[in-house]
């Protein structure tokens, strides 16, 4: 729908609205998510694929409670029918605010002043306005006063846990929906990770090399206002968009002695476009690299016979020709000491088993961009 002085409203289906894409650079849109699901998906893809329209704020309406689906598709918010006039006016006000502003707002919830400064430096020159708070209550106050495009959240806060903060946010409709990136040094149990995934969009564990991934992930949620920035302040979209074609034709060495893991992983990696080569232990991995040094990335299991992943990575890093080769360790359990040991041995980053493909895919994108 388009809004004109609170009086005129025109309703479009996704397919019809898609036809008008060339004339919509300055309009917000409200879609009925219950109409023609495939057309809606195609429409959202068209908007995001076209540089002229990728930043149009979209607000979803639906007779079903599909808030999560709508936000996953990039909507700025969602309303479930029936909708009151007051709710509609509020939706249009939010769209107008999104169009008029030229600032992307990031909320950092972290009790460490050192981490605050580190994150500020990370997003310096990115056209991002950062608000940093040190407690859960301060975060709730900030979110009640301002609409943020993304929140980076540490789980260890002085007055409440990050889990409690997320539950309070999602249990109160007074707070605007905000994408959440968990950025924590806490070792998560499987139950804690499952609990977090109900509310958080991304989970990143702090390591010496995790800042690149934090920038990459947070940029996904900040990017929809990119075109409102002056040209000299815009980043290269290819550096922050998750483009599958970065994997196409890339040569990947998968090192693992478990055939079940090899079969499951290689099938999914091939679907992404990788050229997969296999090795069953560290010794075979070194032989493969000697024979063909042009690999783009290595996935290295740790516990293997003959030569484990630690020793293999140390041998790889001892050779200057492989100094820039991305090596991701596949660990059986994300224990703190194990992570440190992987990084010390030469891994760029790690992914714990059972492998979460969305996490692994995100990590590979980050390191292949470098």
| Integer Cα distance of 110 and 130 in angstroms | 12
pLDDT of amino acid 44? 59
Alpha carbon dihedral 38, 43, 46, 52, in 10-degree steps, equals -170
Q: Tell me how far apart the alpha carbons of residues 13 and 98 are, in angstroms, rounded to a whole number.
A: 22
State the Cα angle at 204 between 268 and 359, rounded to 5°. 5
| CB of 329 closer than 8 Å to CB of 342 | yes
This prediction's pTM: 0.42
3-state secondary structure the chain: CCEECCCEECCCCHHHHHHCHHHCCCCCEEEECCCCHHHHHHHHHHHHHCCCCCCCCEEEEECCCCHHHHHHCCCCEEEECCCCHHHHHHHHHHHHHHHHCCCEEEEEECCCHHHHHHHHHHCCCCCEEEEEECCHHHHHHHHHHCCCCEEEECCECCCCEHHHHHHHHHCCCCCCCCCEEEEECCCCCHHHHHHHCCCCCEEEECCCCCHHHHHHHHHHHHHHHHHHCCHHHCCCHHHCCCCHHHCCCCEEEEECCCHHHHHHHHHHHHHCCCEEEEECCHHHHHHHHHHCCCCCEEEEECCCCCCCHHHHHHHHHCCHHHCCCCEEEEECCCCHHHHHHHHHHCCCEEEECCCCHHHHHHHHHHHHHC
Residue where the block lists tokens 């499951």: 264
Is 177 within 8 Å of 94 (Cβ atoms)?
A: no
Topology annotation, domain 3-100: Rossmann fold (3.40.50)
Structure tokens at 115: 């981490």
Strand partners, 252: 276, 297
| Cα–Cα distance for residue pair 19/39, rounded to 1 Å | 11
**How far apart are alpha carbons 191 and 188 in whole angstroms?**
8
pLDDT of 334 reads: 52
For the record, the structure tokens of 182 come out as 């968990």
pLDDT of residue 196: 83
> Which tokens in the block code for residue 241?
């968009």
Q: What is residue 85's predicted lDDT score, i.e. its pLDDT?
A: 87
What is the predicted pLDDT for the residue at 335?
Answer: 53
Q: Which residue do the tokens 């598709």 mark? A: 73
Q: pLDDT (tens digit, 0 to 9) for every residue of the chain, 370 residues total? A: 444 433 333 333 333 333 333 333 434 454 444 445 556 555 655 665 555 565 667 777 777 666 666 666 666 777 888 888 888 888 887 777 666 555 678 999 999 888 888 888 887 766 688 999 999 999 999 998 888 888 999 999 999 999 999 999 988 877 877 888 899 888 778 778 778 877 887 788 787 667 777 877 777 667 534 443 434 334 444 333 333 568 888 999 999 988 777 877 887 888 888 999 999 999 999 999 999 999 999 999 998 888 999 999 999 999 999 999 999 999 875 555 667 788 889 998 888 877 888 888 888 888 887 6
Is the distance from CB of 278 to CB of 266 less than 8 angstroms?
yes
Predicted confidence at residue 255, as pLDDT, reads 94
How confident is the model at residue 61, as a pLDDT? 78
Class level of CATH domain 244-369: alpha beta
Contact 183, 196 (CB under 8 A): no
Q: Taking Cα atoms as reference points, which of 202, 248, 199 lies closest to residue 67?
A: 199
Are both 3-100 and 244-369 of the same fold?
Answer: yes
Measuring CA to CA, which residue among 62, 77, 61 is closest to residue 175? 77
Residue 245, both tokens: 């074609």
Nearest to 40 by CA among 58, 63, 65, 55: 58
Q: Where are the domains of the chain?
A: 3-100, 104-239, 244-369
The superfamily in CATH containing domain 104-239 is Response regulator (3.40.50.2300)
- C-alpha dist (Å) from residue 76 to 25, 45, 239, 321, 331: 16, 15, 23, 46, 37
Q: Does the bond joining 180 to the residue before it have cis omega, within 30 degrees of 0?
A: no
């Amino acid at each position: 729908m388009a809004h004109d002085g609170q009086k005129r409203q025109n309703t479009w289906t996704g397919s019809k609205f898609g036809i008008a894409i060339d004339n919509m650079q300055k309009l917000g849109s409200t879609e009925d998510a219950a109409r023609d699901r495939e057309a809606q998906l195609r429409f959202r893809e068209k908007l995001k694929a076209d540089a002229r329209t990728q930043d149009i704020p979209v607000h979803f309406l639906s007779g079903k409670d599909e808030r999560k689906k709508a936000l996953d598709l990039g909507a700025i918010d969602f309303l479930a029918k029936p909708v009151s006039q007051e709710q509609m006016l509020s939706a249009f006000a939010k769209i107008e605010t999104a169009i008029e502003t030229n600032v992307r707002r990031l909320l950092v919830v972290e009790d460490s002043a050192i981490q605050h400064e580190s994150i500020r430096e990370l997003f310096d020159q990115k056209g991002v306005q950062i608000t940093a708070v040190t407690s859960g209550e301060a975060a709730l106050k900030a979110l009640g006063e301002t609409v943020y495009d993304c929140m980076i959240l540490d789980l260890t806060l002085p007055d409440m846990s990050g889990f409690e903060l997320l539950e309070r946010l999602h249990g109160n409709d007074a707070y605007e929906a905000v994408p959440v990136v968990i950025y924590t040094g806490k070792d998560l149990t499987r139950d804690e990770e499952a609990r977090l995934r109900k509310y958080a969009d991304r989970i990143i564990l702090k390591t010496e090399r995790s800042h690149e991934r934090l920038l990459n992930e947070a940029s996904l949620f900040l990017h929809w206002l990119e075109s409102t920035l002056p040209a000299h302040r815009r980043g290269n979209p290819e550096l922050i968009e998750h483009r599958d074609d970065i994997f196409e034709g890339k040569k990947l060495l998968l090192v693992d002695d478990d055939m079940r893991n090899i079969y499951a992983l290689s099938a999914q990696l091939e679907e992404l476009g990788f050229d997969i080569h296999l090795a069953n232990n560290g010794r075979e991995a070194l032989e493969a690299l000697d024979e063909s040094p042009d690999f783009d990335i290595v996935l290295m299991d740790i516990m293997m016979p003959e030569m484990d992943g630690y020793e293999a990575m140390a041998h790889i890093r001892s050779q200057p020709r492989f100094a820039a080769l991305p090596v991701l360790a596949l660990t059986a359990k994300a224990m703190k000491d194990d992570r440190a040991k992987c990084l010390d041995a030469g891994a760029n980053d790690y992914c714990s088993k059972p492998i979460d493909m969305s996490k692994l895919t995100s990590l590979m994108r980050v390191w292949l961009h470098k």
